[in-house]
A and B are shown apart, each in its own frame.
Chain A
Amino acid sequence: MATAKLIHDPYNLIITGVGGQGNVLASRMLGNVLTSQGLWVTIGETFGASQRGGSVMSHLRVSTDGSWSPQIPEGKAHMVLALEPLEALRVLVKYGNPGAKAIVNDRPILPVAAIAGKTNYPSADELEGMLAKLTAQRWSIPATERAMALGASIFANIIMIGALSATDDLPVSRQGFEAELLRALGPSKVATNLEAFDLGAAMVQG
């Protein structure tokens, strides 16, 4: 099968969020869409304990040239897909670089220490300011808000995938994603998830 071309090889994508937000689901689905295009995909993830409200990351290496380290080297992320804004920052501090791009869900999830008043969660303006300095291009999207309107917060993942697809950085097409939805979730779930995908794509195109 024809192998799609990449603007970077390996292309390094980090999907990040808080344990329980479904970043594993998102990375798997994206991984499968890209694999079906003939690309090599290596995904590094941590789960188990991390699910209990800790920071989580999925590192995706997309390449024409075999498997790469499941952990992306520091400073080498091309794109950060963040389900939570503080986590976007945490990832960029370590893996960002002047050319990094980020798609960020705007809804904060406060760490327990911040809820308890022991630490200070940055304001939306502070977050925006820091994100601006650490990215070459970024999109802030109300993924959770729209997901809740669709019926469940877990749709935020799919909205984010739609947004990623609209950047054209990676060969993630609507058809490709639809096929993966069918395979992964079954026919009854395809329509709503595609709706979520389209919502996300529109947020980036608009």
Chain B
Amino acid sequence: MDGQRLTMMGNQAITQGALEAGVRVAAGYPGTPSSEIIQNLAGAADEHGLYVEWSINEKVSLEVAAAASFAGLRSLCAMKQNGVNVASDFLLHLAGSGIRAGMVLVHCDDPGALSSVNEGESRHFARMLELPQLEPSDFQEAKDMTKWAFELSEEIGNVVMLRSVTRLSHASGGVVPGPIPQAQGKAHFDHHGTLLDKGHGPVSSSPVAYKHRLQQEKLARAVELFEDSPFNSYTGPEAPELLVITSSICNLYVKEALVLLDATDRVGVLKLGTTWPLPPKLLQRNLERCGQVLVVEEVIPFLEENVKIAAAEMAGEIGAKRFFGKRDGTIPAQGELNPDIVLGALAGILNLPYQTRPPQYDLLAQEAAPQATQDRDLAFCPGCPHRASFWSLKGALALDARDGFICGDIGCYSLAMRPTGYGMLKTLLAMGSGAGIASGFGQLGRFGMDQPVMAVSGDSTFYHAVIPALINAVHQKSPMSLVVLDNSGTAMTGFQPHPGTEANALGQPVPPVDIEAICRSLGAEVTVCDPFDLEATQAAALALLADQSTAKVLILRQLCALSPQRKGSKLYEVQVDPEKCLGDQCGCNRLCTRVFGCPGLAWEKQSGKARIDEVICAGCGVCASVCPQGAIIKSERA
């Protein structure tokens, strides 16, 4: 593998870089688009002698990685943008205390929220917490910069943040891998020095003034190294008409846009790989090249604002510049970028015409568009227990008839917010917030609120963030009902293990921590049900809604359709009996396809009856309980 160019996913390149740097410990929490980093390191753990952990949440994962660094082992922590928020309090203190062996925090943002419910950015943490930050702009850099990040980390004695985005992490491109060193070194935490001894004393962000000054000196040292870094580069004419400053995968968009506009001899591109702090001398040299600057980045104008601050500081030497970017609307302030947006911005500034394709084709495309671009909304997979759970919760809330509602949380079941998920979630915010918000709603009876409130949480989310909220609800006597949707894995991100599973990231047997036992020990009323049993689940949910005396938990336990234990094997063969299906004569108004809406069901135009799509059907058998005529037959497989 060593030496030949391969096509590697960005996350795999990061993994490769970490391995080449001799990383020994890695921890994280699943979060798209970061999950493959820890997953791949776990896959390489045996061969290279690593410890890799899926921690209960990002804060703890950062702490686990920090411990390794304190003990002299290079460590890596990986998470999506939200994870940095969760870990940020610890990160703040860690940035103050500094680290020992190299430690890299890889954070993967999701511009455009392709797999998130926010496009909040994490680059500002580097600035706020005074840590150096790197942004690879392609796949080779993803590897090289990760490797270098460990060296930088050790050189300055602090965490290095390495920022990726979906379009890099989940894209693939050419990478030449390098050798992976033999694992060596014994873990030992040296703690006998004085308080002020950063290499041998206790690890603390205090005494604060002393440590803060040290922290800033470390950052200054990083800036020195950034001035000559090969990860910052300028391409283009000596004196361009326009200077583009860019980072991350946007660099490839800029490159492509300039080729399409045939403007590579007019526009210069300063590609920054070290994006905090910005190296002032490098910046000045390049800002001096011309009077107009376009900053291309996503999502917040992080670079743009910092470049402007630097430009103001050196205004005497370089003169005033005209800036284009997010702040003036040249680049949209929200959403992800693509080459076409960059093309549009460049064409506008340079006053260049650009036609995507001949107008006649555009017309044909427009004609086809209404049909072609029809909605294909995300939906629960065929056989997903969440579909059954929300079907029962929908019925229970309707029967209860007090305008009750569900506070949602993060996972596959977030899809219950959408029409395909029956529009059941009425709040959807951060990890664990469903239970927290429901606990709050539960206190409002004293102000006249008479709507019963429920929260849903997945099993992984339960461990991550819900437990404190549930304790709060029980202790504060909030009569909310928590429904834990336990499908035995962290499904949305790729079915990673969590504290409730019997194997860890390395595939080793570990003691599962039982959700039911936790809830009971907290003093909550607990019921357990199989969501595929619609009748029992609806009855259990109704009972929850009727009880306004205390916090209650209903655990709906059923394997995810994509879980390794279930995948590919159907519980039942499911068929529609065309004799029993009455079609539109039934009066049920196509309850199966119009309302229940599993993708495995179809309405046959010719016969005017329902049928099962055998390619898509996962054989869970739930629809058999939905049909009022009993026309959907499920038979156990031999």
Contact = CB atoms under 8 A, between A and B. Distances in A.
B373 A93 contact: yes
A119 interface: yes
A49 interface: yes
Contacts of A50: 114-115, 378
A111 interface: yes
Nearest to B6: A35
Contacts of B595: 116
Nearest to B80: A48
Interface stretch (A69-77, A162-170, A187-195, A196-204): A69-77
A96 B599 contact: no
A41 B249 CA distance: 15
Given A130-B371, A134-B368, A53 B381 contact: yes
B171 A93 contact: no
Interface stretch (B83-91, B271-279, B338-346, B464-472): B338-346
Interface string B246-261: 0001001101110010
Range for the number of chain B residues in contact with chain A: 35 or more
B358 interface: yes
Contacts of B255: 68-69
Tell me whether chain B's interface is mostly helix, strand or loop, or mixed.
Answer: mixed
Contacts of B324: none
A43 B338 contact: no
Interface string A29-57: 00110110000111111111110111100
The residue among A48, A54, A76 with the most chain B CB atoms within 10 A of its own CB is A48
Interface string A78-100: 00000000110110111011100
A94 B365 CA distance: 8
Interface in B352-396: 356-358, 360-361, 364-365, 367-369, 371-381
B138 interface: yes
Contacts of B338: 69, 71, 73
Contacts of A74: 340, 356-357
Contacts of B601: 115
Contacts, number: 204
Given A86-B376, A96-B361, A115 B172 contact: no
Contacts of B594: 116-117
B375 A73 contact: no
Given A52-B378, A75-B356, A47 B170 contact: yes
A181 interface: no
The residue among A53, A72, A94 with the most chain B CB atoms within 10 A of its own CB is A53
A108 to B, nearest CB: 10
B371 A89 contact: yes
B220 to A, nearest CB: 33
Given A48-B492, A133-B368, A144-B615, A42 B171 contact: yes
Contacts of A73: 256-257, 260, 338-340, 343, 356
B476 to A, nearest CB: 34
B204 interface: no
B177 interface: no
A52 B368 contact: no
A102 interface: no
B420 interface: yes
Contact of A75 (B138, B357, B377, B493): B357
Contact of B377 (A72, A111, A133, A153): A111
Contacts of A116: 590, 593-595, 597
B327 interface: no
Contacts of B372: 86, 89-90, 92-93, 130
Interface of A: 18-20, 28, 31-32, 34-35, 40-50, 52-55, 66-76, 86-87, 89-90, 92-94, 96-98, 107, 109-117, 119-122, 126, 130, 133-134, 144, 148, 153
Q: Which 4 A-B pairs have the closest CB atoms?
A: A48-B115, A48-B32, A70-B171, A75-B357
Interface of B: 5-7, 32-33, 114-115, 138-139, 166-168, 170-174, 249, 252-253, 255-257, 260, 338-340, 343, 356-358, 360-361, 364-365, 367-369, 371-381, 412, 415, 419-420, 492-494, 590, 593-595, 597, 599, 601-603, 615-616
Given A43-B171, A71-B167, 20 more contacts: A32-B7, A34-B7, A40-B5, A40-B173, A45-B170, A45-B171, A48-B115, A53-B377, A53-B379, A53-B380, A73-B339, A76-B356, A89-B372, A96-B361, A98-B358, A111-B375, A112-B377, A112-B599, A116-B593, A116-B594
10 contacts: A48-B494, A69-B255, A69-B256, A70-B249, A73-B260, A73-B356, A93-B373, A117-B603, A119-B374, A130-B368
